[in-house]
């Protein structure tokens, strides 16, 4: 069975020949550069990856096509990189790398000790209120990045072949970008003392996302690729380890309707496409609202968070949602467990999530630098051996 057939059967809640596997299909289902190199060296496989890093801030790389084929990854990503043209704007001073992104946030990484880049500046932090700050701030001008984005799309489309194709977002979610431009303490205060400013920023961000998706969709249609895209991926981290990030009522009233509007727009322009949403943490209470807003695929399925039991999720939402992720716990088992513990967990999770289709295997979020290569291969070998229907 070809990968795009395997994916589409899964998306329609039927069982294909085996569970689809995703490594590198999105910026949240990938692998850290150092973890990738260690894992490939462990089995004598090429450590080459795409020089245009998919997400340099997280140090997430895309293996070259020959390696993706060897790893039997069923998904190919198309879409903007997190920082288009990153290699032209990043600077180095000794062991310190730094870059300012399109939102005017400064990021730095000390390659001698850091796993990834850390944020150093918050451009709207100094203003007395968010409403005041927004009179001085605009979303990035996508027209300045248009050529780079379209050039990347033209290059990426060469590798879709018979694989499942996912069109990925160009920026983080509404709460994530808000926190980055305003600063964490200030923005959480804003949700209480300046809700009008918070909602105004959300509207600016959803407009920016709409402009991006129209750019991508226009390109797909003009090149007659619109029918090859099965999934469109968006994100916003709405949960913590123990609860939702904000009161569920606030999220229902302000954030989810905006995403619903965006998803409806995308589905009108790409009939039949499925909407993928990444949101970490304990978000079970929000899933009915996200489904009503048009969500088809949920990621990363962080089952270690409160109220995120996999059996309950599959039972209560398995008819409406495809679960993309949750294949193994990246916070503990994959990092600190033994290979045997990894194998046991992967088998247990597949037994729960695979029946009836509706499950794409990926780890709970990206594979981090400190994952032992033995554990990566224990996961992969188990999926290949036991992931057949």
Q: Is residue 28 part of a domain?
A: yes
Phi/psi at 239 (nearest 5 deg)?
A: -130, 160
Cα within 13 Å of Cα(267), Cβ side: 14
In a domain, 67, yes or no: yes
Q: Does residue 105 lie within any of the structural domains?
A: no
Instruction: Answer yes or no: is 90 within a domain.
Output: no
What CATH code is carried by the domain that includes residue 73?
3.20.20.210
21-39 pLDDT tens trace: 999 999 999 999 999 999 9
Q: Is residue 371 part of a domain?
A: yes
Structural domain boundaries, residue 135? 3-85+124-386
With a cut of 50, list the residues of the chain below it in pLDDT.
none
Distance CA 12, CA 138 (A): 40
Which of 345-371 are b and which e, b meaning 16 or more Cβ less than 10 Å from the residue's Cβ? bbeebbebbbeebbbbbbbbbbbbbeb
In a domain, 356, yes or no: yes
Residue 250: inside a domain: yes
The pLDDT value given to residue 136: 86
Tell me if 95 is assigned to some domain.
no
**Per the structure, how many domains does the chain have?**
1
Which two three-digit tokens encode residue 283?
A: 């978000």
- Span 188-229, pLDDT tens digits: 999 999 999 999 999 999 999 999 999 999 999 999 999 999
What b-and-e string marks burial along 264-278, b requiring 16 or more CB atoms within 10 Å of the CB? ebbbebbeebbbbbb
């Amino acid at each position: 069975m070809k990968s795009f057939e395997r994916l589409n059967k899964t998306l329609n809640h039927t069982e294909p020949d085996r569970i689809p596997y995703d490594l590198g299909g999105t910026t949240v289902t990938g692998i850290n550069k150092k973890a990738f190199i260690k894992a490939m060296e462990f089995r004598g496989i090429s450590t080459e990856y795409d020089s245009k890093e998919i997400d340099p801030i997280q140090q997430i790389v895309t293996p070259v096509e020959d390696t993706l084929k060897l790893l039997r990854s069923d998904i190919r990503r198309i879409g903007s990189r997190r920082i288009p043209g990153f290699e032209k704007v990043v600077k180095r001073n000794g062991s310190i790398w730094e870059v300012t992104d399109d939102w005017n946030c400064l990021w730095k990484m000390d390659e001698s000790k850091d796993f990834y880049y850390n944020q150093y500046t918050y451009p709207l932090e100094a203003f007395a209120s968010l409403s005041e700050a927004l009179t001085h701030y605009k979303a990035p001008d996508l027209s300045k990045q248009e050529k780079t984005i379209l050039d990347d799309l033209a290059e990426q489309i060469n590798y879709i072949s018979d694989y499942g194709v996912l069109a990925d977002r160009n920026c983080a979610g509404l709460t994530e970008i808000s926190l980055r431009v305003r600063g964490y303490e200030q923005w959480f205060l804003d949700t209480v003392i300046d809700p009008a400013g918070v909602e105004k920023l959300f509207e600016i961000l959803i407009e920016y996302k709409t402009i991006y998706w129209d750019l991508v969709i226009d390109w797909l249609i003009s090149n007659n690729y619109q029918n090859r895209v099965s999934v469109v991926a968006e994100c916003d981290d709405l949960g913590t380890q123990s609860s939702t990030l904000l009161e569920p009522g606030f999220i229902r009233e302000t954030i989810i309707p905006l995403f619903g509007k965006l998803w409806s727009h995308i589905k009108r322009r790409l009939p039949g496409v499925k909407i993928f949403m990444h949101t970490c943490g304990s978000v079970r209470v929000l899933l009915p609202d996200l489904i009503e807003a048009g969500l088809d695929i949920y990621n990363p399925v962080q089952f270690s968070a409160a109220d995120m039991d996999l059996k309950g999720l599959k039972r209560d939402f398995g008819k409406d949602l495809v679960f993309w992720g949750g294949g193994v716990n990246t916070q503990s088992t994959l990092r600190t467990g033994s290979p045997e513990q990894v194998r046991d967990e992967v088998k247990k999770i597949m037994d729960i999530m695979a029946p009836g289709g509706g499950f794409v295997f990926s780890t709970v979020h990206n594979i981090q630098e400190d994952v032992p290569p033995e554990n990566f291969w224990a996961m992969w070998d188990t999926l290949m051996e036991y992931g057949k229907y």
